[in-house]
Copies of this chain bind each other. A is one copy, B any other.
Amino acid sequence: MNKPTNPKGTRDFSPKEVKRREYLKNIIKESAELMGFEPIETPAFEKLETLSNKYGDEGDKLLFKILNNGDKLKKADIDAIIQDKLKKFSESISEKGLRYDLTIPLSRYVAQHQQDITFPFKRYQIQPVWRADRPQKGRYQEFYQCDADIIGAPSLFQEVELLQLYHTVFKRLGANEKVVLKINNRKIINGVCEVLAVENKIGFIRTLDKLDKIGIEGIKREFHSQGLDAEKICSVIILEGNNIERLEKIKKFLISSKEGQEGINELEFILNILGLTDKDLKIEVDMTLARGLDYYTGTIFEVVPTIEDVSGSLVAGGRYDNLASNFGLNASGFGISFGFERLYLLIESLNLFPKELSENLIAKVMFTNFDIPNEKYGVIYEQLAITRAKGIKSIFYPNVTKLNKQLQYANQKKIPYVIIIGEDEFKKDSFVLKNMREGNQSTHSLTKMSNILEDLKIASIFAN
Known A86-B73, A273-B378, A399-B157: A65·B67 in contact at CB below 8 Å: yes
In the assembled complex, the CB of A185 is this many whole angstroms from the nearest CB of chain B, namely: 18
List, in ascending order, chain B residues with CB within 8 A of A235's CB.
none
State A61–B70 Cα separation when bound (angstroms): 7
Report if A439 contacts B (CB, 8 A).
Answer: no
Q: Which chain A residues numbered 15 to 30 have a C-beta less than 8 Å away from chain B?
A: 15, 17-19, 21-22
Known A7-B43, A378-B273: A78·B82 in contact at CB below 8 Å: yes
Known A7-B96, A15-B123: A399·B153 in contact at CB below 8 Å: yes
Contact between A6 and B42, CB atoms less than 8 A apart: yes
Contact between A109 and B375, CB atoms less than 8 A apart: no
Contact between B328 and A395, CB atoms less than 8 A apart: no
Q: Among B39, B46, B81, B161, point to the contact of A18 (Cβ < 8 A).
A: B39
Contact between A43 and B12, CB atoms less than 8 A apart: yes
Contact between B67 and A327, CB atoms less than 8 A apart: no
Interface string of A24-58 (1 = CB under 8 A from B): 00000000011111111111111101100000000
Residue of B with least CB distance to A96: B7
Report if A186 contacts B (CB, 8 A).
Answer: no
In the assembled complex, the CB of A7 is this many whole angstroms from the nearest CB of chain B, namely: 5
List, in ascending order, chain B residues with CB within 8 A of A295's CB.
none
Q: Which chain A residues numbered 232 to 246 have a C-beta less than 8 Å away from chain B?
A: none
Contact between A277 and B120, CB atoms less than 8 A apart: no
List, in ascending order, chain B residues with CB within 8 A of A33's CB.
393
Q: Among B113, B120, B326, B388, point to the contact of A12 (Cβ < 8 A).
A: B113
Contact between A3 and B328, CB atoms less than 8 A apart: yes
Contact between B7 and A45, CB atoms less than 8 A apart: yes
State A84–B363 Cα separation when bound (angstroms): 56
In the assembled complex, the CB of A150 is this many whole angstroms from the nearest CB of chain B, namely: 6
Residue of B with least CB distance to A48: B7
Report if A94 contacts B (CB, 8 A).
Answer: yes
Contact between B398 and A153, CB atoms less than 8 A apart: yes
Q: Among B1, B5, B40, B369, point to the contact of A13 (Cβ < 8 A).
A: B40
State A194–B73 Cα separation when bound (angstroms): 45
In the assembled complex, the CB of A59 is this many whole angstroms from the nearest CB of chain B, namely: 12
Contact between B43 and A18, CB atoms less than 8 A apart: no
- Going nearest first, the 8 A-B pairs with the smallest beta carbon separation are A276-B378, A10-B43, A15-B38, A36-B395, A153-B398, A277-B381, A13-B41, A18-B39
15 A-B pairs in the complex with CB atoms less than 8 angstroms apart? A7-B43, A15-B123, A34-B394, A44-B142, A66-B66, A76-B76, A78-B78, A93-B93, A118-B412, A158-B398, A161-B398, A272-B374, A273-B378, A276-B375, A277-B378
* New contact pairs (11) apart from A10-B43, A12-B41, A122-B362, CB-CB < 8 Å: A7-B95, A12-B42, A34-B394, A35-B395, A66-B66, A74-B86, A118-B409, A120-B399, A157-B396, A273-B378, A276-B377
